[in-house]
Structures are given as structure tokens and as C-alpha cells.
Chain A
Amino acid sequence: MATAELHAHDAHAHAHDEHEHHELGFIQKYVFSEDHKTIAKQYLITGIIWAFFGGGLSILFRLQLGFPDMNLEWLRPLLGGWIDESGKLDKEFYLALVTMHGTIMVFFVLTAGLSGTFSNYLIPLQIGARDMASGFINMLSFWFFALASVIMFSSLFIETGPASGGWVIYPPLSALPQAMPGSGLGMTLWLTSMAFFIVSQLMGGINYICTIINLRTRGMSFTKLPLTIWSFFFTAILGLLSFPVLLSAALLLIFDRSFGTSFYLSEIYIQGEALPNMGGSPILYQHLFWFLGHPEVYIVLLPALGITSEIIATNARKPIFGYRAMIGSMMGITLLAFIVWAHHMFITGMNPFLGSVFMFLTLIIAVPSAVKAFNYITTLWKGNIIFTPAMLFSIGLVSLFISGGLTGIILGNSALDINLHDTYFVVAHFHLVMGAASFFGLMAGVYHWFPKMFGKTMNRTMGYIHFWCTFVGVYCVFFPMHYIGIAGFPRRYYSFTALANDAQNSFTDLNMFISIAAILTFSSQLLFALNFFYSIFKGKRATQNPWNSNTLEWTAPIELGHGNWEGEIPAVYRWPYDYSKPGSASDFIPQNVPFSATPESNLPEENEEIAKEKEIEGLLETQNGVYNH
């Protein structure tokens, strides 16, 4: 169906004028839309709403951790029975809070909200395509996500509470409904929701890969792809290979829960009663889960890194340093992602030799990560830096990526992990390197592509305030957490009463500090929400290429219609990072400018490329054929 409409644009406006004025109804345009831009905005706005819920939950348990004696009676109108008679947070609900915070942030915000938004939005626009390979599957992908969202959200309101076994839902805790209140209906809803979520991600992922491989505009070879597209490509591959494994794990868990099989359950007594289950293995679940769980970290992080590459090069007005090294390092990270999962399981009693193999592989990840960090810094080095809010968030990402990544080297050691496993040290590590870094990538992307998405600009001053509050706030929250972790505080505990050397007393102030910092950081996000929603409606009109950027999306009109470009899609002749090229009068040369038009700045090998430009032009008809078939 989409192709029929695309055809109208392709075949030049004069032939099919009536198509140009054909307006879709409200439902087709904004609700069940097959347009990648609308779907991206749906993902973004759903993601932002989820982020506020997920963040809000963390504030609730931070109150408990920072102020264990506080009277929370004032929250009763909101939480009702989850505040117990003494005015404290219910203990079971505390577990539900950490579980839902993790689930929402990892899957619904940083997977769907980040990669769903920017893969959908940028892939067709940056590779020069009219839309995704299948608009229908793309639409389904969002609506499966919406369904998953509704189910997960509704689980917050049931009497027994949402899932509470941690976002990793290890059996037997999650497999036995009688194990804890949250393992009942809440867990069932969690699993149902995640099954839909996985289906949604798979449909999105196959679309991204297929679009990048098949629908690039003429001249857009793989070596001319912006790094954003490369990162979305690797992200989609990671998702395609790892999400089915999570689905397998979840299915077996569902069978154990609902049909009484024993894949993960073995010889268990519960409430003094022996269960009939024999011969299962809970560690099996951990293997399957972490085979997804670890790649998931990179599913969350890679898009943020790609967005950062693009924004840093644009705003440093310099070519990205080590374009191919960046691609290579992302490829390395993608490969390594699949063979390091057992570092989450060092203390499950695994063979120490196996542990050292996984430790070795884990530490190798430091190499591609360091390549990326150095390349960002060398791109910034002596650049003509323009500090837009997007640029600040990108530089912030590099900072968080380094400071969070360093502790990864410590945690990757199987011997050190014995001490640090499941402490706040781990919490601090992954919040910096994966949570906050990806969140900064998301924010950078929103600030950078907002003019393209909505044709308006966001308020800069508010952007700066938002950045500094968030940046300082995130460090204030997570840096002290390392010390708490080293002192031995385990994660997911409701309260601390008997740590060695009375540690629970000597760290009261620090926990209080973290909680206050968390509340302030969270509040400053309201500033972003205000800026975002206000600017959609009342923001200043954007120019076509506000950041003087090279990539193709900025050649499209400000008011993007279905099919993205009126008339022909521009061809691509050069890589996307020709910033401040010696000899050129302007400090950027967009990808669609042929070398024959810029003799003053061409390098000798680029002059040879001029001969190939005719050939790229010749591909026009083949390209139109794709959209008419």
C-alpha cells in the first residue's frame, strides 16, 4: 500500500497531482501510521512517558534507602496499601519497585525509546529511502510495543503487586507463584508483556537491517554510511540474534509456572511442603537469560554511541577521527557481546577455568571501548567546538562512558567479582556506563534532531540548565555509590541493619546525599519535558539545516511529507564527515554534493571518484524501480 503512494512522489508531481493532495485520516496519520517518522515519534513520546514512570519509581525506593526512618504517610494517597501501618514503604513493594525500575528503564526506555525512536527516524532519512522496507511490519512493531506497555503498566495496579524478583527474574523465585506476592499475577503479566515486547523488537529489528541493506540511495555504499546508521545496524543484529533466546528462556519459564514442568525447578521445599518438580536447573535459566542480557547492554549503548559520533563530528566541525576504526570497534563489541555472558554468573559455582576464559573475553571489550573513547576525544581535539545542548550531552556521554567503563575492568575479574557481586558497586558501574550514558545519548539525539522531527527548535537556555543539572546530578548520585558498594552494601535490600564494622551507620549520610541528588536530578528532567512539549507546539520555526550538518536528512524539506523527499531522492557522492575541509569555502560539504562541484577542496583520490559519478547517476532508474515494484 505504501509503495503505491510513494510512487506518486517518485514519478514527479505533475503526473499524479491528485495524489499529492490526498490527505490521510487522523487515525491513519497519527495512530496506525505506517510512516517511519510518525512511528519514531510514537516511540519517543511513549519512551519519555515511561522514563518518568521508571524514574519516579527509583525516587520512591531512594526515599527508603536515604531516609529509612522517614514517615511516608503523605504518599498514601498515591500508593495506598503499599504504605504500611507504621508509615513505611511496604517491603514487598520495595522489591517490586526495583524490579519495575530496571525492567522499564532497560527495555521500555533505553531499548524501545532510544533505538525505536532513532532507528526508525534516522535510517530512512540518512540512507536516502522513502520509508522502511515494510511500513506495515513497522507499524505492528510499535503497536506490539504499545500492547506490551499497557500490560506492564497495568501490572503496577494489581493487588499482589507487579513482578518483584528483580529485572532478571531468576527462577525459582519467579517460577513459583507462592514464593512471594510479586511472583503471582504480577510475574505472569511481566512475562506476557515481555513476550509481546520481544516480538515488537524482532519486527523492528528485521526492518532496520533490511532497510539498511536494501534501500540505500544511489552512491550510498557501506563506507559512506553515517556512524549512526552503522550503530543502528549492529544494534539490530544484536537484537535479532539475542531476543529470540530470551523468548526461549521466557517460554520455558512460562511452562514451569503454568504447566508444572521442571526445566528450572528441582527438589524444592516451600512452606514446609515438597514440590513434585524434579531434575530442573535454575542455572540453565541464567545462561539463557544472560545470552540476551549481555547483548542487551550493547543494544542499549550502541545507538547512543552512534548518535554521539554524529553529533560530536558535526559540532566539533571536524571529520570523525578514525571512521573505519569506529565501525571496527562497534563490530568488535557486537561479536564480543555474545561470548561474555557468563561474567554475570561468576559466583554461580561455575568452573573456575571457565570463569577465567569469560574473564579474559570480558576484559577484551576494553579494547574496542577504548578505541571509541579515544576517537571521540581526538575528534574534539582542536575542533572548532560549538556547544549546543546536544553537543554537551554527547560530551557528557563520553565522560560517563569512560568513568563507568573503568569500573567494568574491575568487575570483569572473576576474583574481584566474588567481593563486589550484587553490591552497589555494580549498580554504580552499570548505571554510569549503560544507564546514564545511553540516556545522555538519547537526550543528545532529541536535542539534535528535534528541528528535523517537529520543524521547531527547543529552547537553548533551558537545554543548558537541563544538561548541567543532569550531568552534575548523575555524578552526585552514582559516584558515591561505588564507595557504598565497596563497603559491602548489597543491592535490592530494603534496609541495612547488620553490616560489618557498623557500616550501615557510617554510610547513612552518603545514602541521604545520593537520595537528595537523585530527587534533584529527576526533578530537573521536568524542565526537559516542559521544553520538549512546549517547543513542539510553540517553539521557534527551525531552518532546514540548523547545525550545518552533512547527512542526507537535512536535505529533506522542513515539513516532511510521506516519502521524505519531494521529487528524486538525492544521490550520495562522499562520506558524511567532510567538515572544515582544507580549500573549501564553507566548513561543511553535504553528502549529496558531487566531487565535480568542489574541485578546490578535492584530494587527488577524490578527483578519481568524479569518473564514477556518472555511474551513480545511472542508478536512478533502478532505484525508482524498487519503489514501484
Chain B
Amino acid sequence: MTTDLENINYIDEPKETLSMNPKKFLLWLFIVSIMMMFAAFTSAYLVRKAEGNWLEFKLPVLFWYSSAVLLISSISMHIAYLAAKKDNINTLRIAISITFVLGLVFLVMQLFGWKELVAVNVYFVGNPSGSFVYVFSGLHGLHLISGLVVLCFAFVSAFRLKIHAKALNQIQICATYWHFLDILWLYLFFFLIYNN
């Protein structure tokens, strides 16, 4: 019975009302809500900046390097996805691990970026222009930790051979979320550079 039903999925039928995998759709909706949250923060930043009394300072140089690290992690994430698609399980495991480590490196670099801020006397408590930088990077960091958790699950699945060319949902969800976190940081970073 079960095998019959599994085969049914590959029959070409008109798929009108039932097209997208609900889990993937849930992820996209979740991403929308995160986007709204950061849209609110960046709008608050602009509104507040327009009122004057705004401290100007240089963003940590380290943020450039951490952004590069995050970009590279996105590439390795994509390599993992491609490997899964080709049933190349070894590459998949290595690429996921690299992504995970790069994610950790990014977080540590962000922390050192904060140290750079402290060195130029920009603290979390003080003029909102500085506080906002901490809020942006801190909350993005929190979301990135959730991304690492998702990666962990994918990593375990990869070792249990649950991710392969015919079971791509999990790695797709993981990759989408990771790329989103990458783009989110780039948005926040360039927003700060442009509006600092």
C-alpha cells in the first residue's frame, strides 16, 4: 500500500490547488516575518536619525571580513545542496560541516567586531546610533544561531543517509534559510554603511 502511494507522487497530474510543499511554504512565511521585524528596526533607525543628535563613527573593519566569511559559507551551503542532488554524500557531509564552522567563525568575528566598537567608545548603552548597530548585529546573530541549529539537524540527517537526490526537502529548507540569513546580514551591513 505504502509503496503504491509513494509512486503516485511521480505521476504527472494537473496539480492546481496542491503545488508547493507545505513545510517550504512555512519557511517562506517565517522569513517574511523576520524581514518585517528587521524592516521595522531599519525604519526606526531612519526615523530616529532624521531627528538629529546622532553620533557618527566608523563601523568595525572586521564586519567586512565577517561578511566575506558568511558569503563563503553560503557558497559551501550551495555546494552541499548540489552534492545532495547528485547523491554525492561525502561532499555533502564535508560541505555542511564547512558551512557550520564558517557560521561559527562569523559569530566569533561579530563578537570581535563589537570589541572594535567598544575600542572607539561606542557602547550598547549610549547614543542610539551605536545601540542600533549592536541591536542589528546581535539579533542577526541570534537568528544565525537558529540557522546553525537547522544546519545541525541537516548534518545529522546527512550522516543517517536521510538526505539524497530523492529526499531534498530538508537540505532545500536548510539552504534557503541559510542564504536568507546571509542576505539579511548583507542588507543590514550595507544599510549601516550607507546610513551611518
Give A residues with C-beta under 8 Å from B.
Answer: 7, 10-11, 15-16, 133-134, 137, 202, 205-207, 209-211, 213-221, 240-245, 247-249, 251-252, 255, 259-263, 278-281, 284, 287-288, 291, 615, 618-619, 621-626, 628-629
Contact = CB atoms under 8 A, between A and B. Distances in A.
A134 B22 contact: yes
B25 A291 contact: no
A263 B17 contact: no
B33 A240 contact: yes
Interface string B112-142: 0000000000001111100100010001000
B1 A15 contact: yes
A263 B128 contact: yes
B29 interface: yes
19 contacts: A134-B23, A205-B29, A206-B29, A210-B25, A213-B20, A215-B22, A221-B17, A244-B37, A244-B40, A248-B38, A255-B124, A255-B131, A261-B126, A261-B128, A287-B44, A287-B47, A619-B13, A621-B8, A626-B18
B51 to A, nearest CB: 5
A621 B11 contact: yes
Main secondary structure of the interface of B (DSSP, over half): helix
Nearest to A132: B22
B18 A245 contact: no
B15 interface: yes
B33 A628 contact: no
Given A263-B48, A280-B128, A213 B25 contact: yes
B36 interface: yes
Given A11-B1, A209-B29, A628 B40 contact: no
A280 B41 CA distance: 14
B101 interface: no
B47 A619 contact: no
A210 B19 CA distance: 11
A274 B151 CA distance: 48
Interface string B49-82: 0010111000000000000000000000000000
Contacts of A259: 124-125
A543 to B, nearest CB: 30
Contacts of A281: 47-48, 51
Given A263-B131, A628-B2, A628-B6, 12 more contacts: A205-B33, A210-B29, A214-B18, A214-B19, A220-B17, A240-B29, A252-B44, A261-B124, A281-B48, A287-B43, A621-B8, A621-B13
Contact of B25 (A214, A252, A263, A287): A214
A288 B44 contact: yes
Nearest to A215: B22
Nearest to A292: B40
Contact of A619 (B5, B16, B25): B16
Nearest to A236: B29
A625 B126 CA distance: 57
B18 A618 contact: no
A241 B36 contact: yes
Given A619-B16, A625-B5, A261 B125 contact: yes
Interface of B: 1-2, 5-6, 8-9, 11, 13-23, 25-26, 29-30, 32-34, 36-41, 43-44, 47-48, 51, 53-55, 124-128, 131, 135, 139
Contacts of A134: 22-23, 26
A133 B34 contact: no
Given A259-B125, A262-B126, A619-B18, A252 B8 contact: no
A279 B37 contact: no
A585 B20 CA distance: 40
A517 B43 CA distance: 45
B15 A622 contact: yes
Contacts of B25: 133, 210, 213-214
Contacts of B126: 261-262, 278
A261 B126 CA distance: 6
A262 B54 CA distance: 12
Contacts of B11: 621-622
A623 B18 contact: yes
A133 B22 contact: yes
A624 B8 contact: yes
A629 B9 CA distance: 8
Given A213-B25, A624-B5, A240 B32 contact: yes
A245 B36 contact: yes
A133 B51 contact: no
A224 B112 CA distance: 56
Contacts of A626: 18, 22
Kindly list the 7 A-B residue pairs having the minimum CB-CB distance in the complex, ordered from nearest.
Answer: A244-B37, A248-B40, A206-B29, A133-B22, A244-B36, A245-B40, A279-B53
A248 to B, nearest CB: 4
Contact of A288 (B20, B40, B55): B40
A218 B38 CA distance: 38
A216 B1 contact: no
